[in-house]
Amino acid sequence: QVQLVESGGGLVQAGGSLRLSCAASGRTFRRYAMGWFRQAPGKEREFVASINWSGGSSSYADSVKGRFTISRDNAKNTGYLQMNSLNPEDTAAYYCTTSRSYLLRLPTEYDYWGQGTQVTVSS
C-alpha cells in the first residue's frame, strides 16, 4: 500500500517555473516506478513523465520534453517534477502515481494516485 500526497502547485505567469513534490508513505515506494499525469477541465487525464524505481531512466510526453524534469529521492520517499518555461496549455491538475514500469503511459496501468495539485499558468 502506498499513499501519495502532491504539493507545490499554484499560479504562475507564462515562462515561469514550478516544482511539484510527491510525498509517499510506506517503505515499498522505492519498488515502484513513479509517474506524473495531468488533467485539464473537460479533457482526459494524460501522461506527463515517468521514472523508474532507481531514478536512472525516465520518459516524457513530447509536449513537455526539454521543459520538465522528473526525479525522485528514495531516501526521502519523495518524487519531484520540475517544470520550466510554463505556458497556459500546461494548466491542469497534476497527479503523481506509481506503476510496475516507467514505460507505461496509460492511466489504467498505474496503481496508486495522489489527490492532485492545481497548476495554473496565466498568459
Q: For residues 22 and 6, give the distance between their C-alpha atoms in angstroms, rounded to a whole number.
A: 4
Residue-wise pLDDT for 91-120, tens only, equals 999 999 999 999 999 999 999 999 999 999
Nearest to 56 by CA among 66, 71, 67, 68: 71
Residue-wise pLDDT for 2-29, tens only, equals 899 999 999 999 999 999 999 999 778 8
Q: For residues 26 and 18, give the distance between their C-alpha atoms in angstroms, rounded to a whole number.
A: 26
